[in-house]
A and B are shown apart, each in its own frame.
Chain A
Amino acid sequence: MTGRPAAAQDQGEPAPEHDEEHNLRRFATIWGRAIYSVTATSMTRVEFEAHLVPQARVLRETLRARPFDPRPAVAVGAALVDAHCTDPEALPSILGVIDAYLVLYCPPPADVPADEARIRCSRLQHAVAVGFSQALRERTLSEQESISRAALGAQAEAERALADSEAKLRAVFEGAAVGIGIADMDGNVLEINDAAARMFGGEAHIRRRNVSDWVHPENEPAIRGLNGELVRGERDGYHVEKAYPRADGTVLWANLQVSLLRDTEGRPQYQLALLEDITERRGLLQRLRHQATHDALTGLPNRALFFERLDQALDPDGPTSRIGLCYLDLDGFKTVNDSLGHAVGDRLLVAVAERLRACLTSDDQLVARIGGDEFVALYTDPPGQEAVTDLATRILDALAAPIALDDRDLRVHGSIGIVYGPAGSRGAADVLRSADITMYRAKEHGGNRYEVADPDSDARAITRHGLTNRLPEALERGEFFVEYQPLIGLEDGAVLGAEALVRWGHPVHGVLGPDQFIPLAESTGQIVPLGRWVLEQAARQAREWQLDHPGGSCAPRVNVNLSPIQLHHRDLVAEIAGVLEETGLPPGALCLEVTESALIGADEDALKPLRRIADLGVAIALDDFGTGYSNLSSLRWLPVSVLKLDRAFTRGMRRHPADPVDLKIVEGIVSLAHSLDLTVTVEGVETRTQAEHLRALGCDHGQGWYYARPGPPEHLHHLSLADAG
């Protein structure tokens, strides 16, 4: 091509610079048009062309420079790569436009010959190509490097995150207080944490073993079934209490939660076991249950356990068809106790218990101590009446030989009342009463013998006893009276109140304690008027104390026992409200004691009256706590504000040092009670040692001979006045 572009000549005498600039832009436009379609730029065409103008200018100046040096054109190649002409195929287009149009639109000075111009243009293209290739290579390398770096970084990041999360899990796993174990679906143990190893008594004992290796006779077969379902993926977990053999041969009781871990496709992959060691808790509960059901002195089953067994045996729906019962009362024990003292009396009872135990010949016989010197042997499904009388004979024989204590030979005899008959028709109290009456008959016949109950003699005995029938009359005649036993604040020894205890001043039998007539009153319903009378007395008395103590707050309160029968009497709530009204006693100064056994298993209907009473502001105490075996958690919803701990718990504290298990149990109960906002009263405090232990354990109130015996109301008055002074 020769000559100037026509466009340049059309401009009638324009300024040469303007001309120049215009041609430069023309060149850039042609250039842009050729390259744009092979770039990846996101600029618009117009923008892209504008972007090329400076590059075109560099080419023009380089073409014209003197001396000629093509090197600045290298930068143009690089600049095009920067503008995202990264396709190697773009280069021919880039160079093609320079070759065809650069000299034409941006001619070198006139003195440069055409040949020379051509050569310069070629060298320029060469330089542009070098710049383009170098830049493209560098760009490629640097992008490769940056993406590799990013990939490595991302990989490291992912690994670190993985390691972090593994480390976190590992820490949780290792540091967990619960035992954690992981097994595969065949039961092979893959991993266990330290806590689990400790529970089992050594890592070697569990690592690389199979879950099915640990069999323990105490486990229910059902657990195996559960695990089978889990392994087959039919369930996602289960929760049981399970026994395991420990490395040292002892048993580990665990609260076990097993869950299934599935892979991302949902297939069962691992079994995850969480174990909590409940061996000690279980042991403690068993001790607690044992304590609650056994007589601390003799170790024999106590009244509660006896009644439980008797109830079971008498249950019409139960497996037992007949029962035999020997009710034994020691003749002459009272004399020993009175003349030689409690300590000797206690040792005598222990020796008697020992001999009674020896009289049992099979598992279906049980001997219990149910009162001071009263024992009872229960025989479930005896082969016949003779088997029961044989047992009674063995007992009498066992007691025939004197008991040597220190240097003394003590003689005790027994009188036994036997009940033998079918189960399912009579209640426990009825059976026992019958045995009791029969025992009296044996006593009346001179003792050291047994008698067998029969309905006729029972009836006669009852009329002879006469207590039952005389109850209503006795109430009218005012033969009952109330004694008060102080309740003491353990913290400061202050008299806080008293428990009202009813007595019967029997014209013939002398003063009878509640044990002797309350069961009768309950069985005849007389307990309702009697209970009401006691409540009135006690409330009036408490009101008097209050009036004597205008100070108010330290005025003694009064505790009154409420029988389960009263609890079911529908006027109870109204009566209590009425008594409070009449006497003017503030409800807060009254506390009603209900036995644990009366509330256990009570449904919401049965509890309703009690809730209403509590709503009045009257306190409710749970009496004899610990003799039943209430679900401790039921305390949460009973309307109770005081726990009265049974004296069984304080026996072990008479000694020094105290029985650590007793201490632990009481401590546990106290903390539980306090966490439920209940105050704890302890009965049967007999020694200073006991009192100190109980105070240290956080018990709130105490009651017992150590402080005061039950007595007339004036006693209490003196006590509290003395205390106030």
Chain B
Amino acid sequence: MTDRPSWAPQGIDLTVPSVSRVYDYFLGGSHNFEVDREAARVALKAFPGIPKIGQANRAAMRRAVRFAVDRGIGQFLDIGSGIPTFGNVHEVAQAAAPGARVVYVDNDPVAVAHSKAVLADNPDATIAAADLRDPLSILEHPETRRMLDFDRPIALMLVAVVHFLSDDDRPAEIIATLRDALAPGSIMVITHATLGGPTPEGQRAAQKVYQRTATPLLMRTKDELEPFFAGFEIVEPGIVPLAYWRPDAPLTEDDETAALHGLAAVGLKA
């Protein structure tokens, strides 16, 4: 056969910026290549506040993990986990509850390879290469099956990833499929980019940057996020700007700006 068959795994194109590596750059990491930094710089120029949003997002994620641990949840399914840098779900969770089990999922092969290296010595955390758009492939992944007990509550983490699903991907159905696999008492964490604040122009420009990646970014409003929580009871304080979700310190001015561009919410499955 002269051509590669279309069903073979895709090769890796390092000439295209990757969401996970651009995000790493925003977080001050160096797990990135020049294409990624270039894309990131373009975004930053249009919208310098991005790193703060990233930080606020990570902070909200961390608070959500603690919230889960406080509820006695010791299992985490983190989809769209990205390149592990610091303050990752397993670090936060295992610090608060030793032995907590974490399955990371990402569809970026480089992020997956990196996670594998980072997690090599951690018996309670693992990474599965899978795509959120095929939720069954995540639920049935051998790593998921090996690590998680679906008869007991799980924290499903969809942190800064749902905005990479277009409406054509039918995100609500994807989430419903995941939800149906969860035991009562499970929670779902979603953080999501939203259009807001004083610089929507810049935000649009940043959104454009993502069009160049394999995964365009789609802002959604609070009302658009609500249906994703069908079958969950949204816990206090509801769907709110990142920094307002159960803050653990008084808010500063920085928090205020960052907070406007991301939403966070946690749902509890009855």
A40 touches B28 (CB 8 A): yes
Residues of A with C-beta under 8 A to B7: 165
Instruction: Select the stretch in A124-132, A140-148, A304-312, A364-372 that faces chain B.
Output: A140-148
Residues of A with C-beta under 8 A to B109: 154-155, 157-158
Whole-angstrom distance between the Cβ of B107 and the nearest chain A Cβ: 12
B113 touches A42 (CB 8 A): no
Residues of A with C-beta under 8 A to B87: 41-43
In this complex, what residue of A is CB-closest to B29? A143
A191 touches B1 (CB 8 A): yes
Q: In the complex, which of the residues B2, B8, B28, B58 contacts A161, with contact meaning CB atoms closer than 8 Å? A: B8
B55 touches A44 (CB 8 A): no
| In the complex, A114 has a CB within 8 A of chain B | no
In the bound assembly, the distance between CA atoms of A198 and B110 in angstroms comes to 45
| In the complex, B160 has a CB within 8 A of chain A | no
Residues of A with C-beta under 8 A to B133: none
| In the complex, B11 has a CB within 8 A of chain A | yes
Give per-residue flags for B1-29: 1 if the beta carbon is below 8 A from chain A beta carbons, else 0: 11111111111101000000100100111
In the bound assembly, the distance between CA atoms of A149 and B29 in angstroms comes to 16
In the bound assembly, the distance between CA atoms of A43 and B254 in angstroms comes to 15
Residues of A with C-beta under 8 A to B29: 40, 86, 143
Give per-residue flags for A374-415: 1 if the beta carbon is below 8 A from chain B beta carbons, else 0: 000000000000000000000000000000000000000000
A40 touches B32 (CB 8 A): no
| In the complex, B41 has a CB within 8 A of chain A | no
Residues of A with C-beta under 8 A to B30: 86, 139-141, 143-144, 147
Q: Which of B5, B113, B249 has the most CB of A within 10 A?
A: B113
B58 touches A42 (CB 8 A): yes
Q: Given that A87-B28, A157-B109, A157-B113 are known contacts, is A151 also in contact with B12, CB under 8 Å in the complex?
A: yes
| In the complex, A169 has a CB within 8 A of chain B | yes
Residues of B with C-beta under 8 A to A162: 4, 8-9, 11
B31 touches A40 (CB 8 A): no
| In the complex, B248 has a CB within 8 A of chain A | yes
Q: Given that A150-B114, A161-B9 are known contacts, is A44 also in contact with B248, CB under 8 Å in the complex?
A: yes
A151 touches B113 (CB 8 A): yes
Residues of A with C-beta under 8 A to B54: 40
In this complex, what residue of B is CB-closest to A182? B1
| In the complex, B68 has a CB within 8 A of chain A | no
| In the complex, B220 has a CB within 8 A of chain A | no
Interface residues of A in 37-76 (CB under 8 A from B): 37, 39-46
A153 touches B2 (CB 8 A): no
Residues of B with C-beta under 8 A to A42: 55, 58-59, 61-62, 86-87
Q: Which of B3, B31, B254 has the most CB of A within 10 A?
A: B31
Residues of B with C-beta under 8 A to A146: 31, 114, 117
In the bound assembly, the distance between CA atoms of A39 and B85 in angstroms comes to 14
B249 touches A46 (CB 8 A): yes
In this complex, what residue of B is CB-closest to A45? B249
| In the complex, B202 has a CB within 8 A of chain A | no
A149 touches B6 (CB 8 A): no
In this complex, what residue of B is CB-closest to A269? B3
Q: In the complex, which of the residues B1, B6, B8, B110 contacts A147, with contact meaning CB atoms closer than 8 Å? A: B110
Q: In the complex, which of the residues A86, A150, A151 contacts B28, with contact meaning CB atoms closer than 8 Å? A: A86
In this complex, what residue of A is CB-closest to B21? A147
Main SS class of interface, A = helix
- Number of interface residues, chain B, beta carbon within 8 A: 44
Q: Which of A146, A150, A182, A191 has the most CB of B within 10 A?
A: A150
Residues of B with C-beta under 8 A to A154: 12, 109-110, 112-113
Main SS class of interface, B = loop
| In the complex, B150 has a CB within 8 A of chain A | no
In the bound assembly, the distance between CA atoms of A206 and B68 in angstroms comes to 66
| In the complex, A84 has a CB within 8 A of chain B | yes
Q: In the complex, which of the residues A40, A149, A190 contacts B55, with contact meaning CB atoms closer than 8 Å? A: A40
Q: Given that A146-B31, A147-B31, A151-B113 are known contacts, is A158 also in contact with B86, CB under 8 Å in the complex?
A: no
| In the complex, B51 has a CB within 8 A of chain A | yes
Whole-angstrom distance between the Cβ of B117 and the nearest chain A Cβ: 6
| In the complex, B83 has a CB within 8 A of chain A | yes
In the bound assembly, the distance between CA atoms of A363 and B31 in angstroms comes to 87
B6 touches A264 (CB 8 A): yes
Whole-angstrom distance between the Cβ of B87 and the nearest chain A Cβ: 4
Q: Which of B59, B83, B114, B117 has the most CB of A within 10 A?
A: B114
A147 touches B12 (CB 8 A): no
| In the complex, A575 has a CB within 8 A of chain B | no
In the bound assembly, the distance between CA atoms of A46 and B7 in angstroms comes to 51
Residues of A with C-beta under 8 A to B110: 147, 150-151, 154
In the bound assembly, the distance between CA atoms of A154 and B113 in angstroms comes to 6
| In the complex, A263 has a CB within 8 A of chain B | yes
Q: Given that A42-B87, A147-B32 are known contacts, is A263 also in contact with B114, CB under 8 Å in the complex?
A: no
In the bound assembly, the distance between CA atoms of A191 and B3 in angstroms comes to 12
Whole-angstrom distance between the Cβ of A152 and the nearest chain B Cβ: 8
Give per-residue flags for B91-124: 1 if the beta carbon is below 8 A from chain A beta carbons, else 0: 0000000000000000001111110110000000
Residues of B with C-beta under 8 A to A140: 30
Q: In the complex, which of the residues A40, A155, A158 contacts B27, with contact meaning CB atoms closer than 8 Å? A: A40
Interface residues of B in 32-69 (CB under 8 A from A): 32-33, 51, 54-55, 58-59, 61-62
| In the complex, A166 has a CB within 8 A of chain B | yes
Q: Given that A42-B55, A143-B31 are known contacts, is A150 also in contact with B113, CB under 8 Å in the complex?
A: yes
Whole-angstrom distance between the Cβ of A655 and the nearest chain B Cβ: 53
Residues of A with C-beta under 8 A to B111: 150
In this complex, what residue of A is CB-closest to B248? A44
A158 touches B254 (CB 8 A): no
In the bound assembly, the distance between CA atoms of A175 and B4 in angstroms comes to 20
In the bound assembly, the distance between CA atoms of A44 and B255 in angstroms comes to 12
Residues of B with C-beta under 8 A to A40: 27-29, 51, 54-55
B86 touches A84 (CB 8 A): yes
| In the complex, A354 has a CB within 8 A of chain B | no
In this complex, what residue of B is CB-closest to A82? B86
| In the complex, A581 has a CB within 8 A of chain B | no
In the bound assembly, the distance between CA atoms of A150 and B21 in angstroms comes to 12
Whole-angstrom distance between the Cβ of B169 and the nearest chain A Cβ: 17
In the bound assembly, the distance between CA atoms of A43 and B117 in angstroms comes to 24
Residues of B with C-beta under 8 A to A45: 249, 252
B114 touches A190 (CB 8 A): no
A44 touches B31 (CB 8 A): no
In this complex, what residue of A is CB-closest to B61? A42
In the bound assembly, the distance between CA atoms of A571 and B56 in angstroms comes to 92
| In the complex, A159 has a CB within 8 A of chain B | yes
Residues of A with C-beta under 8 A to B24: 147
Residues of A with C-beta under 8 A to B62: 42
Residues of A with C-beta under 8 A to B5: 165-166, 169
Q: Which of A39, A139, A157, A263 has the most CB of B within 10 A?
A: A157
In this complex, what residue of A is CB-closest to B10? A158
In the bound assembly, the distance between CA atoms of A150 and B61 in angstroms comes to 25
B1 touches A190 (CB 8 A): yes
A147 touches B33 (CB 8 A): yes
Interface residues of A in 160-193 (CB under 8 A from B): 161-162, 165-166, 169, 182, 190-191
Q: Can you give 24 A-B contacts (C-beta < 8 A)? A: A37-B254, A40-B51, A40-B54, A40-B55, A42-B61, A84-B28, A87-B28, A140-B30, A143-B29, A147-B114, A149-B117, A150-B31, A151-B14, A151-B33, A154-B12, A155-B11, A155-B109, A158-B11, A161-B9, A162-B8, A162-B9, A165-B7, A182-B1, A191-B1
Q: Which 9 A-B pairs have the closest CB atoms?
A: A42-B87, A150-B114, A40-B28, A143-B30, A154-B109, A150-B113, A154-B113, A147-B31, A86-B28
19 further A-B contacts with Cβ under 8 Å, apart from A45-B252, A158-B12, are A37-B254, A40-B29, A40-B55, A42-B55, A42-B86, A86-B28, A140-B30, A143-B30, A150-B31, A151-B33, A153-B113, A154-B109, A157-B113, A162-B8, A165-B7, A165-B9, A190-B1, A191-B2, A264-B6
